[in-house]
Structure 1
Amino acid sequence: MPSRKITMQDIADACGLSRNTVSKVYNGRGSVPQSTRNLVLQKAKELGYGFPAENVSVPHQPIGNIALLTRYLPSQFHFGTLFLSSFTDMISRAGYTLRIYEVSQEELDKKQLPPHFAPAQIAGIVGIELFDQDYVGMLCQLGIPLVLSDSSADTITSLIECDYVTMENIAGVMAVIRRLAEAGARQIGFVGDYNHCGSFRERWYGYQQGLMVNGLQYDKRFCICEPDSPSYADSAWLLSRLDRMSSLPDAFVCANDFLAISLMQALKKKALSIPEDIMVTGFDGTTQSAFTDPPLTTVRIQGTEIGRLAAELLLNRIRIPSFPYSWTHVKSTPIWRESIRKT
């Protein structure tokens, strides 16, 4: 039993709400979102407020819907597979149901929601693989709590009106550049379209900064940074880009593991040995990266933790709409493997 009488103010403080909101729940006066009502009743039950706990009704049925908006559902090469699992678990425990909406290219171009998306039925939105800044801006204007995980390259330098949680990119790539330099690399190229998305842009920043702090020069002749397209998955296309170079760098830093694996195939077609002739690194920490020949040095993304944090941010935003927006980066971890030489 509590050592003193619990008041509505105690419940309000525990929930991060106003006393007036708690009063509305108990007096039945005024409109209170169902999620807020459930939070107040649950906290009252925990604190032993007012009346017997068995009279405090906390529904076990879903209390609302959270919408996942995405251009493409995460694949096995994407950190989003782990993200989605932990995110779904967190919101389900809070009483929400996840609804998944794939945004078509036409909807993206016209800045339209999917036709079966009903805003009045959605308590919050999570965005993955939405790399269009104007579309993100449209979502921010809906008045529905929104959290993004990665976004367009321009979004990361804009004052967007939503929460944002993603992997740390810059320091991870800088650590890779430092290790390559210690292994003897003096010319290092970059592979990937740095305008493709926010994470690629930050990895490009890390590449540029890493070169500078290690006393190395940037040379665009060693970079393959053409606009993103299916061609990057084609080792023959990458081979044609390598053949255009008058000489090859000592190492390539790739924007993700998918690109690194394709590049390794292209380099082998040139009869080059990895890492003896040239070193290669990726980013993401996919399962596939451990089984390449040789195993790929990469930077592992904590997809599970990013998913949990995104859920916490969104649930908090639903409860407290006026809370300051948060931009969160979760530390990524370099994984040193045989695709780079030992120092």
Structure 2
Amino acid sequence: MSAPAATPTQRHTIEKSYWGDVGGKAIWLYKLSLADGFQVWVTNYGAIIQSLLVPRANSTTVDVVLGYDTLQEYIDDPFYMGCVVGRVANRIETGKVSIEGRDYQLAVTAGGFHHHGGHIGFGKKVWEAQTFSTATTVGITLQYMSAHLEEGFPGNLTTRVKYTLHPDNRLSVEFFATTDRATLVNLTQHSYFNLGGHDHGNIGGHLLEAHADWYLPATNRLVPTGEIASVRGTPFDFREARFIDEQIDADHSQLRAASGYDHFFVLEKKHTKALKPAVTVIEPRSRMRMDIETTEPGFHFYAGNFLAEAFDGKNKRQYHHRGGLCIETHHFPDTPNHSHFPTTTLLPGDEFSSRTEFSFKEA
């Protein structure tokens, strides 16, 4: 680990350590810290958040994201653990899209749909990284240039993600992207959260409140049907806080198909780009609370249904089925096939941008 670079006021530090290499490119692990103990560990492989340590009132910290100890584990990881997902997060049925009158075939899974950016999405790429600091914040900006027709997408797309730690225990995640020809963009951050700690166990005992009046019903392949359905009277109604495991295994066709919650929740049917409340999550035993605000029109709530029954995570601790939850803020899935969904088309001369705020405090 290299020596920390501190500001003149010693309010925060930046440390950088060599983690290995991928394709002849160096991979680094960056530790960014504020004076009160709020820390994020980020690697330029996949723009992954490896750890997020939140300070407690008793002067301890809790690491609230799942992850691994080594680069090789992230290379082998099938769960998108902590990475940036792109160019397009979630699913596109058949992967066949028409953009500005031209047809393209995107990379597809064995199931016949495009998923999370393709066979080698942004979460398996090497990004360029630059750390920064101000009088009160510390952060890192990572950039990746996706070449024309990578995974089938048109246009040379330059994407930046900016992670910033704020002294009120808030992590900002900002995305920016530009292209030289019309393409599709739908970016998200894919951390698995457990507010009891990364090795705390099943997240069913977390309370969740969502500011979403609607959700997107999906097919058996978890691709949206196109319907924007009311959550009222369904297991998807989290407008008042309730435990995740209260109805996660209910006899409901949507839950059976996804083996639990793996659905997109709609905050607004028309995208306003306004920063708005999305989700509050509370872990009662640890009394840790996470509030999420976003400029995106919705979020995908995934309860870790397809995590393995047992596998090694950080510090050689065992992770399990439903050991972490994802709140993936982004545009609607399968947008190219549903004209009434907010568009994910990005044109030359325009810039895609989004911001999501993750705030932590003791409940």
TM-score by length of 2: 0.28
Higher helix share: 1
Higher strand share: 2
Structure index of larger Rg: 1
